[in-house]
Amino acid sequence: MRPAGVARSNTGAPGPGEAQLLASGALAQQVAQAGGLVTLLVIVTVLARRLSVAELGVYGLVVSLSGYLLVLRNTVASSAVRAMAAAPGAGERARMFSAAAALYAAVGLATGVMIALAAVLIAAFILEGSLARDARLGGLGLGLATAVGIAASIYLDALRAERLFVRAASTEVAAVLLFLAIMLTLIVARASLATVIAVSGALPLLSGALSALVVRRRALPFWLERDGVTRERAMAILPTAGYLLLIEVSNLVMYALQRIVLGAFTSALTIGLYEGPLRAHNLFYAVNGALAVPVVPTASRYAAADDMRRLRQLVLRGTRYTLALFVPLCVALMTLAEPILDVWLGDRYRDGAAALTILVSYWLLYGGLVVTPGFLVGAGAARYVARIFLVAAVLNLVLSLALTPVLGLEGPALATAVPFALAFPLMVGVGLRAGGGVALGELARRAWLPAYGLAVALAAALVGLRLAAPPETLPAVLAAAGGGVLAYWIAFYWLVLEPREREFVRALVRRRS
């Protein structure tokens, strides 16, 4: 039923320029994503000192299900945001919201069942004893929390459909802080491993509930109407979601199955050692996902309007800026992998350094916006991305099964990095075509050359530092990694950015301050 006093949607209202809207949305989402990542790293760090290595491996193995089995939700989300944003008028937007909400509820139920079933199977065939019991009970609770959380997350995506990127991000930050407080309370109180696993799935529920409060207080046109749930509206969401499903299933094969393959061929101890590399790698995966929040609707708008000029600028400028973000972080993790694992999780986890270096290496290539699924899906190239990811996933599975028995910890890392490296030229080709026909040479000159040129200098400096004075304490590692990344960004600002780009950065900083 429609609430009284519904305000007019701000989708068509005057606002900041497209560049500032996109940049502000990206920055706000990065802040929210960074908060979530820091929270997860804090939780894993505390758990690593409270649990045995095998128990931490069980925690990572089961909790990862709630992240990687969100395939159905992720496939619906981008399509639902596009459909809600495109709906004309408050009434139709509410009806499209209702159709999306029904899909989210169905997706939540299916995902919760899959998580619970996977946890039961893991407990039965991979683990034993108390570890199996905790995995089974924790997985059942995790499935329930995830199912309800997915249904509630429709409200967060509704804020994004209204292009209220900053408001959505601030709501996520509040949810993350609340989630951190709950998890630390459980850990300090020495709650059972099963309880910690179950509550680990509460973040979507918290962010969805807080977003629902924002929607209500701002009187946005998102309420449930029974007559809005129709086949026609569902089909406005599902076709693109089909291609996104292939992409997400491919990601599931390439990421989620790594722990399972390790557990099948090695032990829970080895899974625990792999937790550090995977968590660090997920930094890049999450940042890449955060970029999609403002990029999907923006690229979709440009493509629908046949605005090739703006699409070209999005490809060229976006790739310049995202590479500047990803590349120094990647170089710092690769060159300082061993000391980072040592001061972060403890010296028991140093053996994961080689796997960490291999696992994050392909982000040197995939840090560019032109090859991100968010841009390519928004620009209408979802089917091409789906085909490439499907082939990469098959190759990943084959290599994982072949390399893990021989190489152990480094097997899944190589099985991930190699297919992505081989797929990169295909992704670039799709991105250049979808981006208004940008020339490969122009992309190399404007984006790749400056980003990788500075990366070589940064890598040489950090390797030299490790040889001359190896950082061994937390302050020393933070100074080396943080100082190197900051030096890269300063050099990029002064040596690479053009005067008008520097002015844009200053204006954006003033606007956010």
pLDDT tens for the chain, 513 residues: list them.
Answer: 444 343 333 433 334 455 555 556 566 666 776 777 788 888 988 998 888 888 988 898 898 777 766 767 777 777 787 678 777 777 788 888 888 888 899 889 999 999 999 999 999 988 888 999 999 999 999 999 999 999 999 999 888 878 787 888 899 999 999 999 999 999 999 999 999 999 999 999 999 999 999 998 988 888 887 777 887 777 666 666 667 777 777 877 777 677 778 888 887 788 888 888 888 887 888 778 777 767 766 776 677 678 888 889 889 988 999 999 999 999 999 999 999 999 988 888 889 999 999 999 999 999 998 898 878 877 778 788 889 999 999 999 999 999 999 998 899 999 999 999 999 999 999 999 988 888 999 999 999 999 999 999 999 999 999 999 989 899 999 999 999 999 999 999 999 998 888 887 787 666 655
430 in the same domain as 321: yes
Counted domains in the chain: 2
CA distance 443 to 312: 10
**The pair of three-digit structure tokens given for residue 503, joined into one six-digit string:** 């002015």
- Domain final residue pick, 207, 236, 265: 236
478 in the same domain as 420: yes
418 in the same domain as 293: yes
Residue among 265, 239, 208 nearest 82 (CA): 239
CA distance 281 to 170: 24
In a domain, 489, yes or no: yes
In a domain, 27, yes or no: yes
CA distance 294 to 23: 8
Cα 252 from chain centre: 13
272 in the same domain as 230: no
DSSP state, 252?
A: I
Residue 398's domain comprises: 257-513
Q: Is 5 exposed, middle or buried (0-12, 13-18, 19+ CB in 10 A)?
A: exposed
- Domain final residue pick, 236, 269, 300: 236
Radius of gyration of the chain (CA): 22
In a domain, 192, yes or no: yes
Neighbours of 211 (CB within 10 A): 27
Residue among 438, 427, 425 nearest 311 (CA): 438
CA distance 312 to 321: 14
Helices 353-361 and 268-304: angle between axes, nearest 10 degrees:
20
502 in the same domain as 417: yes
In a domain, 39, yes or no: yes
328 in the same domain as 205: no
**The pair of three-digit structure tokens given for residue 83, joined into one six-digit string:** 């459909």
Asked if 377 contacts 323 with a C-beta cutoff of 8 angstroms, the reply is: no
- Sign of the CA dihedral 133, 135, 141, 143? negative
Question: Which residue shows structure tokens 């590349």?
Answer: 327
CA distance 234 to 246: 19
Asked if 305 contacts 266 with a C-beta cutoff of 8 angstroms, the reply is: no
**The pair of three-digit structure tokens given for residue 323, joined into one six-digit string:** 């590479």
Asked if 75 contacts 241 with a C-beta cutoff of 8 angstroms, the reply is: yes
409 in the same domain as 461: yes
175 in the same domain as 224: yes
Asked if 199 contacts 182 with a C-beta cutoff of 8 angstroms, the reply is: yes
In a domain, 247, yes or no: no
The alpha helices in 252-336, defined as continuous H runs, are: 257-265, 268-304, 308-335
**The pair of three-digit structure tokens given for residue 60, joined into one six-digit string:** 């990572």
As a dihedral over the C-alpha atoms of residue 358, residue 363, residue 366, residue 368, rounded to 10 degrees, the angle is -150
> Three-state DSSP class for 239?
helix
In a domain, 342, yes or no: yes
287 in the same domain as 377: yes
In a domain, 394, yes or no: yes
210 in the same domain as 267: no
428 in the same domain as 474: yes
Cα 406 from chain centre: 30
Cα 354 from chain centre: 23
User: How far from each other are the two terminal CA atoms of the chain, in whole angstroms?
Assistant: 39
407 in the same domain as 353: yes
In a domain, 249, yes or no: no
Is the model's pTM score more than 0.85? no
